[in-house]
Structure 1
Amino acid sequence: MCGFIGLLKAETEMLGATERKEFENRLNIIDYRGPVDQGYYEDETIIFGFKRLSIIDEVSGHQPFAYEDDRYWMVFNGEIYNYLELKEYLQREGIDFMTESDTEVIIALFSKQGVDCFKQLRGMFSILIWDKQAQCLYGARDPFGIKPFYYKETEQGTFFASEKKSLLSDSEQIDQQGLQHYFTFQYVPEPMTMNQKVHRLEPGSYFIKQYNRPITHFRYFQLSFHSKENTDNQWVDKIQSTLDQSVQMHMRSDVPIGSLLSGGIDSSFIVALAKQYHPNLKTFSVGFEQDGYSEIDVAKETADKLGVENYSYIISPEDFVEKLPKIIWHLDDPLADPACVPLYFVAKEAKKHVTVVLSGEGADELFGGYNIYHEPDSLRVFESIPTPVKNLLARVASVLPEGVKGKSFLTRGTTPLRQRYIGNAKMFEEKEKNSLLKTYHQDYYYQNVTAPLYDKIGNEPAVHQMQYIDLHTWLRGDILLKADKMSMAHSLELRVPFLDKEVFQLAREIPVNKKIANGTTKHILRQAAQGIVPDHVLNRKKLGFPVPIRHWLKNELYSWALNLIQESQTAHILDKEVVFDLLEDHCMDKRDNSRKLWTVLMFMLWHQIYMENKFDIAELQSEDKTESKLVDVS
């Protein structure tokens, strides 16, 4: 697990001392991604910088990596889990290897197959390959977007990096479309960022940039569904064997490995399978002092029954607020998912014991784990209602006061799926954004993001359409963003066995009635977990990382929130009176505005860090030295 920066220069010349120092500073700002080793390569056309966190072949995996008499130079962030199998294939083809690293396997495969090689990689990755002979740069990102990949066109040339902060300058401007979408989705949807000139390479794609020519993008992996019929027993067998193989491959490491453990089925399933290959597996959990917002007791019970060590960390409101600026700085863009905070703390504690952790991200998107996926079934009654009657019901719902029982049901039932569902979170409606944002632009409608996705998947059942939307928005914009940034903030590699190509190829074939059934989500995955996962976990309500912001914003965090609103220099962007009203209505229990408030507050904090330069970046970048409250509850 590593970090890189690259520059394909606009002019063919070596960097001067000033430009070289600036480039080194851009790399050093992400030192935490790879504190073990660093390296540079420069010729007249390109320069690469690399920070390494050694996981496989700690001795000889140095990057930038040269291959074929220095024709190819490569930097690579991630892990290729099938590198041993690919290496055996290449050796049968007569290729010799100098190292034991997965890095050499990638470049050897590229040398033989070109861009077709990306289809064969089973893992998480962002890759840059410079063909010095052809004067051509190639870049690729893994199918799900587990690893980040940013780029930016400048007068100096085209920059590429693992983190956006490596690409920023003093003259950055907010991307107005990204800003507006943030207040809908609670994150900036890819390929946009909150900064106007910085973009992200989309998952499952690669680019080719010939020197002094425009960059061209290509897709090598498409997400789709293709339902097949099997008995429950057949599905169970397939899930168990495929996931077991994925976990086994994800445990390939030359450094200590552990696993995150919540109170849910996903992480428990991963831990139960991982223990077969690592009997001394350590697990890590997190919770809050507030009653009802901790899964530590359940995680401890799970760990006891699985026979693994478990360590937990209790987060106080003071911890929470103290680390927020550091967390937002690491995220690069504002993210209004409070779950990034407990993830930051559990990663911090895990790093004290291991260098790699497994985690359960992706199971909900692949196997139908969100409660909202029940909605199409609950609204099925509207399918038989004639259109004129539905239009009448929609008008009735529109005039009913907020909070009236049945209003939401009528509204959802009379609204087409593609208009009502944009992913797992929807913060502000367009009318609300128009009041909140002084920069509101009617052309930046949120459906600009989701409509093209619905056009591609519109013939699938409603639940598959919702999964498709989540895989392309929520998963990469929220779930994987915080997983990468919060773990790498502590130089910890986080691996996600559910987000494996072979697991996806299986999940895409499972019909909806096997995912959503008997009043549960992930129905067939739960069956597959029986006898492997402890019974107390199998049918628990999904919580994820619950965070008590609803309570805290009325009490412990009220003064902090009020001060942030007052001090934030965002009056040219936001109507602060609207924000103050949200806070006061929430505190007076008129309505629960906690998630909307949190969305505004995280933008304001991001603005203070990245636009107002209110915080000392060296302090935000520094290693977290706070005193541990680690408790061994094994």
Structure 2
Amino acid sequence: MCGLLGMLTANSNAAQFVDAIETALPCMRHRGPDEAGTWHDDDAVFGFNRLSIIDLEHSHQPLRWGPADQPDRYAMTFNGEIYNYIELRKELTELGYAFNTEGDGEPIVVGYHHWGADVVRHLRGMFGIAIWDSVERQLFLARDPFGIKPLYYATTDKGTVFASEKKCILEMADDIGLLLELDKHAVEHYIDLQYVPEPESLHKGIRRLESGCTAIVQPGGELKQTRYFRPQFPAQFVPKSKEQDLFDRIARALEDSVEKHMRADVTVGSFLSGGIDSTAIAALAKRHNPNLLTFTTGFEREGYSEVDVAAESAKAIGVEHIVKIVSPEEYVNAIPKIMWYLDDPVADPSLVPLYFVAQEARKHVKVVLSGEGADELFGGYTIYKEPLSLKPFEYMPSPLRKGMHYLSEMLPHGVKGKSLLERGSMTMEERYYGNARSFNFEQMQRVIPWATREWDHREVTAPIYAQSTHMDPVARMQHLDLFTWMRGDILVKADKINMAHSLELRVPFLDKVVFEVAETIPYDLKVSHGTTKYALRKAMEQIVPAHVLNRRKLGFPVPMRHWLASDELFGWALDTINDSQTDDIFNKKALVEMMQEHRNEVIDHSRRLWTVLAFMIWYGIFVEKRIDPGIEEKEYPVYL
């Protein structure tokens, strides 16, 4: 695990950029406080910050390797963990290759020499990879199939810079001649979706290599991206007599994944909320670590904490449990730091409790397991039931459905049945664009009057939907969420917020072997028997305590609606709006009106307001340079 930063120069003048790389590296020291260093030749400069997890005394990066006739041909740095590195090492050793370390990084570069770009198909893990081939003079970049680990890049006439965090590229902007300009198109997408969708960032010219993709760059050339991972969700039918076989396959795949994810030369803990996902992971992890520590967080407000349920689960599976309670004051004070660590805003209030539980966990362990990805792979979101409730509308003639849509528009807000008519009259492509939506177009125009593209989300969702026409309705929603909500929100916060505390988060559900089973689950075994994740629940019957097995998912819920309407956050929110220098972006008068409507309980605007407030804090740090995120310089330098 580390933070990588590097540059492939256009004119073989890499030595001129070594100082710039060394200056920018400390911006992400939190990703790897154990060790730092750089390497360069004529064309490329590589830098890294290492968080030592496996082969602590060796496996230094940038890692050099080459065959006997071409020693030191390759330079590599990578961020992540390869869980099948032992098996890969054995396979490559049998093919005649020699290794110099015991870590999980060297099998990547040896595998690249043997398989080329197809090495990614042999890797079981999470990764952002950069390999420089000094013989072929080309740079190879890669990200894991689901996008667990980030990889940003920017290209100018001086070369291509790549990094695990965008702030490192911002730090180097002057050195590489990169003009820093707000991407208003990405702002619209953010306001619409609550996150910035890949491959965009809020800065023009800085983009992300997409999940499940590799890329090749040659000196002075453009980055050429290739997708290697495409979910299929093949149509399946499982007879009743074979259902248990499927449930057993799920259990075996997940148990094997957890066993592989426990590989480390440091202590591994586990997050534990009140749901089946994290409980299943913790229960399986306990089999490999009898002294497993689990961690959870919550709030004092009743109904917004799973602390009691998590404690009951911890007791049932026999693990020591540690709890962090977050106050409104702590919540507000942490927001600037969190936006700095994120690089781009994510309007998910659960970021803050995650920040505090990660901070607590890091006092005890260096690695934690978590349950991210279970909902997307096994059909866990309540919205996935929608195709069943809307099925009668599918048989209606198109003119009738259009008429219903007009009727829904005429009904006042809040009238019972308005939403059902509206959604039933639309196709899936029109109504569903991921597991998040802050604003409809009319609401967006109220707060950003320059927004001009109705249903702007289709620019993001249409290409994804085009790949899923052969899938069942629930699979199409899962497929969309894999490429939008999961990699734009879920995995961004999982990576950035835990790494803020130099804590490595591992997600056993997002494993290639688990996915190979999960994508074969038929429609009627995902959303079935009045619940979601039916097949997973059946697979975990002997593993997860009964009080959790069929409990509704909450995760780390946040009382944002109450806080924004009360003295706890209302004044802070108004001050944030009034102080922000974003008058050319937002209609601040409309935002103040929304604050009053929310406080008077006219309309619940909490989700929309939080989306804007998160952006304003981010803007104050990275654009206005007015807000100090409060990062202690003795630990990590402030980017201002």
1:261 equivalenced with 2:269 (yes/no): no
Is residue 460 of structure 1 aligned with residue 435 of structure 2?
no
**1:142-541 equivalent positions in 2, closer than 5 A:** 142-168=144-170, 169=173, 171-230=179-238, 231-442=242-453, 445-541=456-552
Pick closer, same or farther for the CA change 1:408–1:211 going to 2, 3 Å: same
Q: Which residue in the other structure is 1:105 paired with?
A: 107
**1:590 correspondence with 2:602:** yes
Whether the aligned pair in 2 keeps the contact of 1:490 and 1:623 (CA below 8 Å) is: no
Q: Which residue of 2 is the match for residue 630 of structure 1? A: none
Correspondence for 1:35? 33
Deviation of 1:439 (Å): 3.5
Runs of 4+ off more than 4 Å: 620-624
Matched, 1:574 2:576: no
Query: Residue in 2 aligned with 1:59?
Result: 57
Structure 1 letter corresponding to 2:112: F
Which of 116, 119, 133 does residue 118 from structure 2 map onto?
116
- Offset at 1:23? 1.9
1:581-620 pair list within 5 angstroms: 581-616=593-628, 619=631
Corresponding residue for 1:26? 24
Contact 2:617 2:627 in 1 (8 A): no
Residues 545-560 of structure 1 mapped to structure 2, 5 A cutoff: 545-555=556-566, 556-560=568-572
In structure 2, relative to structure 1, the CA distance for the partners of 1:282 and 1:224 (3 Å cut) is: same
Q: Which moved more, 1:161-170 or 1:502-511?
A: 161-170
Q: Distance in 1 between matches of 2:502 and 2:268?
A: 13
Contact 2:55/2:265 (CA < 8 Å) preserved in 1? Answer: yes
1:30-49, Cα deviation, whole Å (9 max, x unpaired): 00100001121111111000
* Alignment correspondent of 2:47: 49
Q: How many angstroms does 1:200 deviate by? A: 0.3
Report if the CA contact (8 A) 1:97-1:104 is conserved.
yes
Q: Which residue of 1 aligns with 2:12?
A: 12
Contact 2:441 2:454 in 1 (8 A): no
Name the structure 2 match of 1:629: none
- TM-superposed CA distance for 1:621, in Å, is 6.3
Alpha-carbon distance change, 602 to 237 in structure 1, aligned in 2, over 3 angstroms: same
Task: Give the match for residue 628 of structure 1.
Answer: none
Q: Give the whole-Å Cα distance in 2 for the aligned partners of 1:444 and 1:597.
A: 20
Deviates more, 1:202-211 or 1:119-128: 202-211
Question: In the aligned structure 1, how far is the partner of 2:526 from the partner of 2:331?
Answer: 36
Instruction: For residue 322 of structure 1, report the CA deviation from its aligned partner.
Output: 0.6
Residue pair 2:235, 2:472 contacting (<8 A) in 1 also: no
* Residues 581 and 391 of structure 1: CA distance in aligned 2, closer, same or farther (over 3 Å): same
Shift of 1:365: 0.1
In structure 1, runs of 5+ residues without a counterpart are: 625-634
Question: 1:219-258, CA deviations, whole angstroms, 9 ceiling, x for partnerless residues?
Answer: 1111121133332211111011010000000000000100
Quick one: percent identity of the two aligned structures? Answer: 50
CA distance in 2, matches of 1:156, 1:300: 55
333 and 622 in structure 1: CA distance in 2 versus 1, 3 angstrom threshold: farther
Please list the CA deviations of residues 269-289 of structure 1 after superposition, one character each: whole Å capped at 9, or x if unmatched: 001111111111000000011
Distance (whole Å) between structure 1 residues aligned to residue 19 and residue 96 of structure 2: 42
Q: Deviations over 1:83-109 (max 9, x none)?
A: 111111111111121110111111111
Equivalent residue in structure 2 for 1:127, among 121, 125, 129: 129
Between the aligned partners of 1:618 and 1:342, the Cα distance in structure 2 is: 18
SS of residue matched to 1:398 = helix
Distance in 2 of aligned mates of 1:130 and 1:431: 49
Shift of 1:623: 5.0
> Residue 335 of structure 1: CA displacement?
0.7
TM-score with structure 2 setting the length: 0.95
Distance 1:305 1:621, change over 3 A: farther
The CA RMSD over aligned residues, in Å, is 1.4
**CA offset digits 1:444-499 (Å, max 9, x no partner):** 82111001111110232111111111000000000000000010000000000000
Could you tell me which amino acid in structure 1 is paired with residue 326 of structure 2? I
Q: Would the aligned equivalents of 1:180 and 1:444 in 2 still touch at CA under 8 Å?
A: no
Distance 2:219 2:631 in 1: 38
Q: 1:443 to 1:137 in 2, by over 3 A?
A: farther
Task: Tell whether 2:567 aligns with 1:565.
Answer: no
Q: State the secondary structure of the residue aligned to 1:499.
A: coil
SS at match of 1:48: strand
In 2, Cα distance between equivalents of 1:256 and 1:338: 29
- Contact 2:159 2:219 survives alignment (8 Å): no
Aligned to 1:29, the other structure's residue is in SS state: helix
Gaps of 5+ in 2: none
For 1:436 and 1:266, the matched residues in 2 are separated by: 37
The SS at the match of 2:631 is helix
Q: Which amino acid aligns with 2:25?
A: L
Give, in angstroms, the shift of residue 367 of structure 1: 0.2
Distance 1:241 1:73 in 2: 37
Kindly provide the CA deviation profile for residues 289-338 of structure 1, in whole angstroms up to 9, marking residues without a partner as x. 11110101100000001000000000000000011000011000011000
User: Comparing 247-256 with 611-620, which one deviates more in the overlay?
Assistant: 611-620
Give, as a single letter, the amino acid of the residue that structure 1 aligns with 2:8.
Answer: L
1:87 and 2:85 correspond: no
Is the Cα contact below 8 Å between 1:438 and 1:572 reproduced in 2?
no
2:278 alignment partner, SS class: helix
Offset of residue 390 of structure 1: 1.7
1:622–1:564 distance in 2 versus 1, CA, 3 Å: farther
Relative to structure 2, which stretch is displaced further, 576-585 or 471-480? 576-585
Judge conservation of contact 1:29–1:621 (CA < 8 Å) in 2: no
Question: Does the CA contact (< 8 Å) of 1:60 and 1:99 recur in 2?
Answer: yes
Distance 1:616 1:412 in 2: 43
Aligned partners of 2:32 and 2:155: how far apart in 1?
25
